[in-house]
Amino acid sequence: MADLSDFDMEEVLQIDIVSDVVCPWCIVGFKQLEQAIQRTQASASVKWHPFELNPDMPAEGENLRDHIMRKYGSTKEQSEAARKRLSEIGSGLGFEFKFTDDMQMVNTFKAHQLLHWAASEGKEHVLKMALFTAYFQDRQDLNDVDVLAEVAESVGLDRADALNVLQDGRYADQVRQEETFWTQNGIQGVPAVIFNRRHLVTGAQGVDAYESIIRQLLAGEAA
């Protein structure tokens, strides 16, 4: 499957995605969107924006299933069914979820700071994809600065620079401000996809739906 970086035609669509790296529907939604872009052969520029599903999550995290059951009032059976559904959908999109009973929900504020820095290095998108993989496939703790630095290094970023960014918190205020901007503008759940800065689509809509949206936007731009 081609990466969005392969689309180097003249830019047509600006796509802003508000998401969290521990949100399974965010990577599902992106993979659906990616396939829709490929179907239409649209030129697209993607920009990621921070959102924390659990901004009050303590440093030690919480068992993922316990967290979901407590937060949404679901049962263990419902949790198992949701994981099975996500795994099937993910497999069809080329992304494998590897859920385990001991998987942890973690605080992601540091991960978003790292992504903010990576954007200035031209590595935001590849780091975002690597963080999704690190969490959902490798079950790594994305609140651990050493883990985050390793992931950064794996996509060509300097490990020492990544550690410095995480340890001094130089981008903490900017990330908080951006998170506040999106919540104050009505974003309460993710993924939230904004096309051309004015058309908001929430949730993982499916490849066909995203394709239809893109075609409509392209037709409007051409009119």
For 98-118, give one letter per residue: b (16+ CB within 10 A) or e: ebeeebbbbbbbbbbbbbbbb
Residue 17 · residue 4 · CB < 8 Å = no
CA pair distance 53, 57, nearest whole angstrom:
9
Residue 49 · residue 194 · CB < 8 Å = no
Find the CATH number of the domain harbouring 47: 3.40.30.10
Instruction: Give the rounded distance of the alpha carbon of 194 from its chain centre.
Output: 14
Domain count, the chain: 1
Burial of 69 (0-12, 13-18, 19+ CB in 10 A): middle
Query: What is the span of the domain harbouring residue 25?
Result: 4-222
Look at the chain and count its residues.
Answer: 223
Digitized pLDDT (tens) for each residue of the chain, 223 residues in all = 334 333 333 457 999 999 999 999 999 999 999 999 999 999 999 999 999 999 999 999 999 999 999 999 999 999 999 999 999 999 999 999 999 999 999 999 999 999 999 999 999 999 999 999 999 999 999 999 999 999 999 999 999 999 999 999 999 999 999 999 999 999 999 999 999 999 999 999 999 999 999 999 998 865 4
